[in-house]
Amino acid sequence: MRFEDLATRLVAVEAKLATLTGTTVNTYGATSIEELDARLSIVEVQVDQLIAVKTQEHIDAIVSAPAGDAPVEVEDVVALSPSASYAEAADIVADVVTAQVEAELVEHSEVANIIAAAVKAVVTAEPEVVVDPVAITAAIMEAVADMPVPAPEVAEEVAAAVTEVIAAATGAEVAAEVHQQVTEAVAAPADPMLDFIEHRLSIAEAKVDTLLGK
């Protein structure tokens, strides 16, 4: 009986995912534990991908919106975070997202992209990382260092914005040495091959979205 219940629940989840993705779905229940496990694994991957896309969309919308006029609720972003079910970590994520909602409009795309990466590092971090000031600072700086180096004329703006994200995440004023580390992380040379792949991937994503009518 338990197996049949789980198989039925899985079919229901697969149907919901099919609605979200516009794909077809099995209408029959799994007939073995092995099949149940395999199909559930696929569902888990699809769910994680959908959450990642939605998280990125929400953060991009917030970063590109005028101060106090984001088209996304803070609670919607927190709900997508691994920290959502952990009060202390969820509060920190909410603080970071709220600070970005209230921040001035970011006009330069390079600045916006790096700020989004810093905010996403907090939103997507595991709860134990979020509540650890040292760990979350490191996660933010790692995310920033992975981004392409911004133009020299906006580098200081980027460093200041990332420092604000760290301040919101740690709930404390950022020390001068940490600000210097942020500046260095922003200016750190990115991987040229990854930059090239990211550029190609962005083009491919845009073409696929066009084909899907987005």
Range of the structural domain that residue 129 is part of: 44-191
Q: Is the pLDDT of residue 176 over 80?
A: yes
Amino acid in the structure at residue 5: D
- Tracing tokens 């997508």 back to the chain, one arrives at 80
Average confidence (pLDDT) over 125-149: 93
- Quick check: is 76 in a domain? yes
How many independent structural domains does the chain possess?
1
Average confidence (pLDDT) over 42-54: 90
DSSP E strands, the chain? none
Cα separation, 202 vs 38, whole angstroms: 31
Q: Is the pLDDT of residue 18 over 90?
A: no
Instruction: Name the pLDDT band for 91 (thresholds 50, 70, 90).
Output: very high
- Quick check: is 39 in a domain? no
- Quick check: is 92 in a domain? yes
Which pLDDT score is estimated for 133? 94
- φ/ψ bin of 103: left (φ > 0), alpha (ψ from -120 to 50), beta (otherwise): beta
Instruction: Name the pLDDT band for 61 (thresholds 50, 70, 90).
Output: very high
Running DSSP on this structure, what letter comes out for residue 31? Answer: S
Which pLDDT score is estimated for 97? 96
Which pLDDT score is estimated for 214? 64
25 neighbors 18 (Cβ within 8 angstroms): yes
169 neighbors 95 (Cβ within 8 angstroms): yes
- Quick check: is 140 in a domain? yes
Q: Cα torsion at 199, 200, 206, 207 (round to 10°)? A: 160
Which pLDDT score is estimated for 98? 96
- Tracing tokens 């490191």 back to the chain, one arrives at 138
- Quick check: is 120 in a domain? yes
Instruction: Name the pLDDT band for 193 (thresholds 50, 70, 90).
Output: confident
Average confidence (pLDDT) over 58-72: 91
- Quick check: is 199 in a domain? no
Cα separation, 151 vs 128, whole angstroms: 34
Helix (H/G/I), strand (E/B), else coil: 184? helix
- Quick check: is 123 in a domain? yes
- Quick check: is 129 in a domain? yes
Across all residues in the chain, what is the average pLDDT? 89
Cα 116 from chain centroid (whole Å) = 8
Across 68-85, b (16+ Cβ under 10 Å) vs e yields: eebebebeebbbbbbbbe
Q: Is the pLDDT of residue 152 over 80?
A: yes
Which pLDDT score is estimated for 184? 84
